[in-house]
Amino acid sequence: MVVDLAGLARHRIGPELQLALLDACERSIEICFADQERVMLRAEGSCVAHEVETHTVVSLNYQEVTERLGWRERENVSEELRRRRGIRRVNDRVVELYRHANSVLRFRGLGKHAFPKSSAKSYVVTVDRYPKRIVCLTEETTETLYLLGAQDRIVGVSGFTQRPAHARREKPIVSAFTSADLPKITALEPDLILAFSDLQAEIVRDLIKSGFNVFTFNQRSVQEILSMIAQLGALVGKAEAAAELIERLSHNLERAAESARSLPVRPRVYFEEWPDPLISGIRWVSELIEYAGGQDVFAELRAQPGAAGRIVQVADIAARDPELILASWCGKMVKPERIRARPELASTAAIRADRIVEIKSTLILQPGPAALSDGLDALVAAISDCAHSVAG
């Protein structure tokens, strides 16, 4: 646990937290302090430690804590503790001090047997805080870690990794999307493996059975992508960098929405994620189309988490008469002539005006920073061109 004693003394914190800290000390569940670590305190005792790789903690006994913080006399505090002990007490081993961007960072006491109960002497231990050897089974976590400045922790990546381009040259490739090289991953000795969605469930099962720590994200919407970044930042001790990245991506969304308000029309858009069977756009794509100023003609399907729930028929597409067709065939090169060759679409506005645009799947079908930056920019350009063309 890392707490800035000087910071605690300078800030007003609630009596409940004071009592919890003192109670923990009195019961020898050591509350440990490190004066040199940077800790930011907020209202009601909330705090966060920034980017601490390892830290030194010092065990202080009850008397030292009360004296250094200048709190009430020991007798008064002890009486209050006795009064409250049977009524309400913060969890014996964990005091939650900070909730940041949908994630919880817990500072833990070291347990009643960590130090001699009655000793007034200070003891020093080193605690490893964040994972240092990370395997990323999908591209978006790799890109996010690079953007957070934690690329040195990555020891293995997916073979589909394109962002950043040099990641595949710098890091060993350990997986495809639905398969992974377990012996290779084992040899890398990761302390954290990052996965995505039910599509990697079998890989995750095998990794967990092999004893690895696996964190599986399942983001499907724009908001969930931002939450993923916040959670990943917290996992690796880069909460502040994650907050800055979220702010930049949120600005991209606001900028796109502002630009969309000036469009002469909001064109009808059909997004094709796969050609056989025909699959419409996943939720974050549908939402980004709206940010960019378009109307997703199959918006009602975006709530379906799996691709099977977004299968459409050519006749359904024709009935909705899209003015723009966007295609991204999930890593496969889009062939516009195949789309034009569907006779049912011949009368649609998009086909008559030859408005078929490919957007690279690495930009738009990666549920991470790419979709909310370059992917969004590609949508804005295509929808803006279509809007002005439709308006004449």
Angstrom distance (rounded) from CA 249 to CA 246:
5
Residue among 141, 133, 183 nearest 158 (CA): 141
> 151, exposed or middle or buried, with CB in 10 Å at 0-12, 13-18, 19+?
middle
The answer to whether the 137-218 and 256-391 domains have the same CATH topology is: yes
**Looking at per-residue confidence, does 7 or 337 come out higher?**
337
Q: For 91-178, where are the alpha helices, taking DSSP H only?
A: 139-147, 167-170
Which pLDDT belongs to residue 355? 98
Average pLDDT, the chain: 76
Confidence of residue 169 (pLDDT cuts 50, 70, 90): very high
pLDDT at 95 (0 to 100): 30
Mean pLDDT of 73-85: 46
pLDDT of residue 147: 98
Tokens of 350: 């998009």
Q: From CA 229, how far away is CA 252, in angstroms rounded?
A: 15
Asked whether the beta carbons of 43 and 10 are under 8 A apart, the reply is no
Whether residue 360 has pLDDT greater than 90: yes
pLDDT digits (tens, 9 = 90+) for 139-157: 999 999 999 999 999 999 9
Q: Which residue has the tokens 């009602």?
A: 300
> Does the predicted TM-score (pTM) go above 0.85?
no
Residue with tokens 């957007």: 359
User: What is the structure's pLDDT at 167?
Assistant: 96
Fold designation for 137-218: Rossmann fold (3.40.50)
Identify the CATH class of 256-391: alpha beta
Q: Are 365 and 357 in contact (CB under 8 A)?
A: no
**Residues in CB range of 243: below 8 A, 6 or more apart:** 100, 101, 230, 233
Which phi-psi region, left, alpha or beta, contains residue 289 (left: φ > 0; alpha: ψ -120 to 50)?
A: alpha
Of 150, 316, 309, 125, nearest to 234 by C-alpha is 150
Lowest pLDDT segment from 100-109, 203-212, 280-289: 100-109
C-alpha span between 217 and 198 (Å, rounded)? 9
Tokens encoding 290: 């709206």
Residue 90's alpha-carbon distances to 5, 20, 41, 58, 248, in angstroms, are 20, 6, 19, 22, 37
Instruction: Please report which confidence band the pLDDT of residue 135 belongs to, taking 50, 70 and 90 as the band edges.
Output: very high
Output the CA angle 141-166-143, nearest 5 degrees. Answer: 15
Q: Which residue has the higher pLDDT, 30 or 238?
A: 238
Question: Maximum distance among all alpha carbons in the chain?
Answer: 87
Q: Quick one: 178 exposed, middle or buried, by C-beta within 10 A (0-12, 13-18, 19+)?
A: exposed
Looking at residue 128, its pLDDT comes to 54
Contact 63, 26 (CB under 8 A): no
Beta strand 268-275 with 324-327 is parallel
pLDDT for 392? 84
pLDDT (0 to 100) of residue 61: 44
Distance separating alpha carbons of residues 189 and 182, to the nearest angstrom: 11
Between residues 38 and 62, the one the model is more confident about: 62
R_g of the chain computed on alpha carbons: 27
**What's the helix, strand, coil split of the chain in %, to 5?**
45, 20, 35
The confidence band for 347, taking pLDDT boundaries of 50, 70 and 90, is very high
Pairing of strands 134-136, 124-128: unpaired
Q: Could you tell me which residue, 267 or 28, shows the higher pLDDT? A: 267
pLDDT score of 296: 98
Query: What are the sequence ranges of the domains in the chain?
Result: 5-128, 137-218, 256-391
pLDDT, tens only, 268-317: 999 999 999 999 999 999 999 999 999 999 999 998 988 999 999 999 99
Does the pLDDT value for residue 13 go beyond 60?
A: no
